[in-house]
Amino acid sequence: MDLGLKGAIVLITGGSKGLGLAAARAFLDEGARVAIASRSHENLQKARAALGKVETFAADLCQPRAAAEMVDTVERRLGPLDVLVNCAGAARRVPAEDLTPEAWHAAMDAKYFSYVNVIDPLIKRMAERGHGAIVNVIGSGGKVATPTHIGGGAANAALMLATAGLANAYAGRGVRVIGINPGPTKTERVAAGLSADAKRDGISEDEALKRIVQRMPMKRMPEPEEIADLIVFAASERARLLTGAILSADAATNPTVV
């Protein structure tokens, strides 16, 4: 199936590792021109070495001005963006008893505003051009609460509503917005979460991993490339009717209907 992404200009936030890196590689395989953003210059250099022909941009996307300037720079160097994939940001896992107003605020900055600060200037430009797709990689924590991820889960839930609302508001102007909720996947981010869960339960990280895998009907943790396939499809015109959808991608680990 030709997804029609050859020559498309794609920006992936959080594209230097994990799901973002896998998505960057998948878009390159489709013939797209890819830019990736991260706070870490070191991670960007590693990603460039792994991916080859990719543009890199360093920015702290928790800061509205830095995010807007990054969008300006990307479009000045590459041209009008066709696709934005938001993969940046992860709220630090905090046990419920350790949550404070500051921790809640930090979770929203890390996960919610790191997306919104990029979406806001870009979706308006896409609407003026009458074309564009935004794919928000959100995470299943917005649907299923866990004791060490309440703050981050709340940020995810807010992103889900923002995704659906923006899709509805901009559908008539040619912009699609889709959310993808991966479950646990083989990434550094999930490994860090396993460490927090293991500490909470007083078990080893290996045991924490076994417990998660045992809950999965497939009896294995998905690979980043499997999520990347969904991201690329969602960004393509083949998925035009999915705008506003929040797609569960946890292989039925949490069999919910919303």
Tokens linked to 204: 């080893």
Q: Which fold, 9-249?
A: Rossmann fold (3.40.50)
For 71-84, letters b (16+ CB in 10 Å) and e give beebbeeeeebbbb
Rounded-to-integer distance, Cα 105 and Cα 178, Å: 25
What is residue 196's predicted lDDT score, i.e. its pLDDT?
A: 67
Tens digits of residue pLDDT in 8-21: 999 999 999 999 99
What is residue 219's predicted lDDT score, i.e. its pLDDT?
A: 80
Tens digits of residue pLDDT in 95-128: 889 899 999 999 999 999 999 999 999 999 999 9
pLDDT above 70 (res 191): no
> Which is more confident, 215 or 51?
51
Tens digits of residue pLDDT in 139-156: 887 788 888 889 999 999
Select from 134, 140, 139 the least CA-distant residue to 164.
Answer: 134
- Say what angle helices 188-201 and 205-215 make with each other, to 10 degrees: 110
pTM summary value: 0.90
Cα of first residue to Cα of last residue in the chain, in angstroms, is 29
Average of per-residue pLDDT across 41-48: 95
Instruction: Return the domain boundaries, the chain.
Output: 9-249
SS3 37: strand
* CB atoms inside a 10 Å sphere around CB 28: 17
